[in-house]
Amino acid sequence: MADFIIGIDGGGTSCRAAVADPQGTVLGRGKSGAANILTDPNHAIASITEAAEAAFRDAGIAHEEIANAHAFLGLAGTNVGNLAQYVRERLPFRHTDIDSDGLIALQGAIGDAEGSVAILGTGTIFMARRAGKVHYIGGWGFMIGDLGGGARLGQALLQEALLVHDGIHPRSAVTDAILTEFKHDPTAMVEFARLSKPGDFGRYAPLVFQHAEQMDPGALALIETAARSVNEALDAVTKIGGTERLCLLGGLAPLYPVWLEPRHRAILVEPQSDALTGAVALAANRFRTRTGGAAT
């Protein structure tokens, strides 16, 4: 029986896994659907298991070895209640460490350095590492947080389209696009919203950025509101993490810089590696700690 470690990056839209040897050398990778334990814990458990199985398959390792794996999971929603405990008890690994999706992203992006990281995806979370300690800002989820994230932006777009439909706000290209998609039937939009998870709203976020680049007034108003929230959060996080480096991650990271304050743009750096790599690094690190450094 060999020792395997597995790093998992579970977010609101997809879940990725990488299996590695104890030194952290990746042997195989796998991917599955959404793994947001706050929105739907049981679906998250299924997605995590599916991604892990796919990674083992990709590596050509026998399926049964999953039960011996040492996993490090970075998941959205771990800061809430005892959901992480619920999920941990239902996963197939020998040892399971669960921490935030933020921590693995930070580890991947800036390694062991000091600085700030903003994840701008379906949701938003801001992190700073200073004097070896990681500080978190935001990341509270779609319902009363994640301002500036894709889900809130998509939700705001649908809301704006209804205001246009009702004659309260003037039409613009971006609301025209939405109203055309929903055949000018507001009840279809309300029904979509009722059934939607954050990732479903988030799929409309790129549309808002595209129209804002064309200077569409409706899209500009939505992006300006979202960017104000992101700029405010960046002020708070760089106050802790310092002004040496700020790294943007997540699906909206390539789209946001042009809308940010110059003081934030000035310190942007590219990520060293991705969150999945960060998860593998943390899994290897925890494995070494548990085995007294024997594997290093």
Burial of 226 by CB count in 10 Å (0-12 exposed, 13-18 middle, 19+ buried)?
buried
The site map against a copy of itself for 3-42 (x = CB under 8 A) is -----------------------------------x----
Measured distance CA(286)–CA(149) in Å, rounded = 31
Which one-letter amino acid corresponds to residue 34?
A
Pairing of strands 246-249, 115-120: parallel
Q: Which of these segments, 58-66, 211-219, 230-238, 275-283, binds a copy of itself (CB under 8 A)?
A: 230-238
E-only strand ranges, the chain: 5-10, 15-20, 26-32, 70-75, 95-100, 115-120, 124-130, 133-138, 246-249
* Binding to a copy of itself, residues 180-209 (CB under 8 A): 186-187, 189-191, 193-194, 196
Contact assessment for residue 208 and residue 222, using Cβ atoms and an 8 Å cutoff:
yes
Minimum separation from the CB atom of position 126 to a copy of itself (A): 8
Q: To which residue do tokens 């030194």 refer?
A: 23
| Minimum CB distance to a copy of itself, residue 3 (Å) | 34
For residue 195, the minimal CB distance to a copy of itself (Å) is 10
Nearest to a copy of itself of 93, 140 (CB atom): 140
Q: Which stretch binds a copy of itself (CB under 8 A): 77-85, 107-115, 243-251, 266-274?
A: 77-85
Number of residues that bind a copy of itself (CB under 8 A): 34
Examine residue 224 and tell whether it contacts a copy of itself (CB under 8 A). no
Minimum distance, C-beta of residue 88 to a copy of itself, in the bound complex (Å): 17
Distance of closest approach, residue 251 Cβ to a copy of itself, in angstroms? 21
Binding flags for a copy of itself, 35-54, as an x/- string (CB under 8 A): ---x----------------
Q: In this structure, are strands 5-10 and 15-20 parallel, antiparallel, or unpaired?
A: antiparallel
In whole angstroms, give the CA distance from residue 28 to residue 214: 41
Q: Are 109 and 279 in contact (CB under 8 A)?
A: no
One residue of 147, 177, 222, 248 binding a copy of itself per CB under 8 A: 147
Which SS3 state, helix, strand or coil, does residue 92 take?
A: coil
Q: How many CA atoms lie within 13 A of 176 on its CB side?
A: 7
Which residues contribute to the site for a copy of itself (CB under 8 A)?
38, 79-81, 137-138, 140-141, 143-145, 147, 155, 158-159, 162-163, 166-169, 186-187, 189-191, 193-194, 196, 232-233, 235-236, 239
